[in-house]
Structure formats: structure tokens, C-alpha cells
Amino acid sequence: MRIPLARPNFTSRDFSFVERVLRSGWLSQGPAVKEFERQIAEYVGVKHAVATSSGSTALDLAMACAGVRAGDEVAVPDFTFPATANSVIHCGGAPVFVDIEEPGFNIDPSQVLKAVSNNTKAIVVVHAFGHPAKIDEVLRIARQHGVKVVEDAAGALGASFRGRKVGGFGDIACLSFHPRKIITTGEGGMLLTNDSELAELALSLRNHGIVRREGKTAFVRPGFNYRMSDVQAGLGLAQLRKIEWRIAETRKLARRYSSFLEGVEGIRCPSEETGVMHTYQTYCVMVDSPERNAIIGTLASKGIETQVGYYALHLQDAFRGLRRAGSLENSSRAFTSSLALPMYIGLRKRDQRLVADALIGAVKALREG
């Protein structure tokens, strides 16, 4: 018996959409990508969407479009995947790490001001695991100091804050379509914005710095090859048609996990704050034990795949010595105690029960041992 951390969910419609692209003969970036961009923009409620080869390259474009350069600083939540901070460094800037709130795993607005300086170019808000951050409070700080807000909504497509979908609040937002996300294109990402000039810059940077004028191609800036293929977009278009069903399914799985785990000593379940809609792209618990890694090993021995939630970036070798806005206590604790459980459409109730029982047993054994 093996229960993986994630498993993509495909239907015959997904295969038919991809086959349609293959039969068209247009495999690189083309009409399917353009249509996928249009539908994602409409779904989130933004004016522009720029498809990319991954969520990480979308972040790279976001930082470049935000104007991050050498000497600039960007406030970044410390508890996140390294790509969030890497994108700042790729542009020559320096991430400044900010603590998160507990519970919720999102950037703590009360700590953001500690990171803001005369060198601050932007603030990044990560909607961790599909749970919207307090974007309104961060936006207020950003506007007061004249800096941009970048939403890292890699795992939060479809999540909403006060009735509006995340990804449409900041100056720029980024999505990911990695296989663990609500919809997947294998790899792939998207940059979102309501700013037409930023969108045009992103389109140019994505494609080698090209600008087309009067039917002619001009290379006006050093750019990248961050394009998405039509094959990927075909799969994305198929999956997007059922996104509300997919979100409903992950929320149902989350409720079931919580019914098994809530109230168990030593385990804290994720919560949904008032005024938000959590997509539960990841179901991440906190275990009150310094032996979280031992728990991962115990569950693995039973065929259950789990992993850490995110990483406390200030503790990673790649980011040592960078500025910290405070003690980062919550981030450090989340890094040592968070545990992502198997979460995917098609996960059976009996398998969730097995995961929950194995986790409860492992935590109990450590507490008593």
C-alpha cells in the first residue's frame, strides 16, 4: 500500500484537448496559450495574463517588471518556497525576510514595516497553501511607502479574499501550474496584472526581449525564453473547465482530514480565517514535536508520503547573512513543525483515515517515548 503526497487527476477531456493541439501541428507558444491566458485573466478578474514556462519564471518576470535592480530590497515572507526569494536575487536585489502569522502561515503585516527601508522596491505576499494572506493590510503599507506589491499566488488559484479572487490585488501576481496545484499543465506559470505597460514589458521579456513594430521584429532588451507551449496550454484549458469542481473536491478532502484530526493532542489543523476562501492546495498541519522528521520517516515506512510544508529561508545556506526583519520565530517554528499530508483529487476516505491514524500514532508514540 502506497499513498503518495500528490497525484494529478486527468480525464478523457484532458487527453482530447492535448490531442487536439498535437493534431494542429502548432506545439510551441501559439493560439492555445493565448486562449489560456484570456480565460485565466477572465477567471481571476484581471486585464492581462502572460503565460510562462513555470511559476518560478513568472516570479522572475514579476521582479524584473517591478524594476528590481542591484541595491534594491524586497520584503519577502521567510516561510515560503525558495523560488520566491530566488527571483529577487536573480534581478540583483536582496530579499529581506519577514515573519509569518500563526496560524495561517502567511506574512505578518505587523512585521512588514520592519523590513521597509529607503531601498525597498516591492513587498511579496505569498498566499500560503491556498489560504489568502491579509493583502489589504500589506497594500496599505505599500501605498504609504510607494512600493509595489507582488502576489505569489502559486498555490492559490481560485482562492478569494473578501469576495475577490487573489491575484488581482497587487501590482503583479504569479501563478503556478505544477502537478501539485489545483490545475496543472505539467510545468507552467502565469503573470497577472492590471497594468498594461507592465504586461507589455512581461510579454517582451518572456520572448527574448522582442517587440514587434509595424510588422517588424526588434530585440529591444535582453530577454528570456520563458514561453509556455501550446501542448501545456491545451491541458490547462481542459482542467480550467472544471476548476470550481476541483476546488470543491480539495475543500471536501480538507474537511475530512480535519474531522479525523481536530482535537488530537499534539496536532494542529489548518484553519480558514473569516472572510477568505481557502483552496487547500496543500493540507498542512503543525505537529507539536521536535521530531517532525522522525514522523515523516515513520509514515514513509507505512507507505505514506509526506513532506515539510515550506522552508524558513533564513536557515537555508543560500540565504544566510541576508537581512531579517525581526526574530522570525514563527517561521522557524513552522519550518520545524509543519507537515504536508497527501492531498489530491481521488484520495479515498479510507486512505485519509489511514493517513490520520498513522499520524496520530506517530505523534502519540513520540510524546510517550
Distances (CA, A) of 127 to 131, 197, 228, 303, 367: 5, 25, 23, 30, 32
Q: Are residues 235 and 250 in the same domain?
A: no
Cell output for 19: 490531442
Cell output for 268: 494542529
Q: What per-residue confidence (pLDDT) applies to 368?
A: 79
Q: Are residues 136 and 266 in the same domain?
A: no
Instruction: Report mean pLDDT in 10-residue bins for the chain, 369 residues.
Output: 93 92 90 97 98 98 98 98 98 98 93 96 98 97 97 98 97 97 96 98 96 86 95 96 97 98 95 94 93 95 97 97 95 97 97 98 87
Q: What per-residue confidence (pLDDT) applies to 367?
A: 80
| Residue 319 lies in domain | 243-368
Residues 6 or more apart in contact with residue 276 via CB below 8 angstroms:
131, 132, 159, 160, 161, 162
Q: What per-residue confidence (pLDDT) applies to 1?
A: 74
The number of distinct structural domains making up the chain is 2
Q: Are residues 197 and 232 in the same domain?
A: yes
Q: Are residues 261 and 227 in the same domain?
A: no
Q: Out of 211, 240, 269, pick the residue that ends a domain.
A: 240
Q: Out of 196, 222, 240, pick the residue that ends a domain.
A: 240
Determine contact, residues 137/263, Cβ cutoff 8 Å.
no
Enter the pTM of the model.
Answer: 0.95
Distances (CA, A) of 153 to 55, 150, 229, 357: 9, 9, 21, 32
Beta bridge partners of 144: none
DSSP 106: S
Q: Out of 240, 272, 306, pick the residue that ends a domain.
A: 240
Q: Cα separation of 28 and 128, whole Å? A: 31
Q: Are residues 71 and 196 in the same domain?
A: yes
Three-state DSSP state, 20: helix
Q: Are residues 227 and 347 in the same domain?
A: no
Q: What per-residue confidence (pLDDT) applies to 241?
A: 96
Q: Where does the chain show beta strands of DSSP type E?
A: 48-52, 73-77, 79-80, 94-98, 120-126, 148-152, 160-161, 164-165, 172-176, 189-193, 210-213, 216-219, 267-268, 276-277, 283-287, 311-312, 324-325, 338-341
Q: Are residues 97 and 236 in the same domain?
A: yes
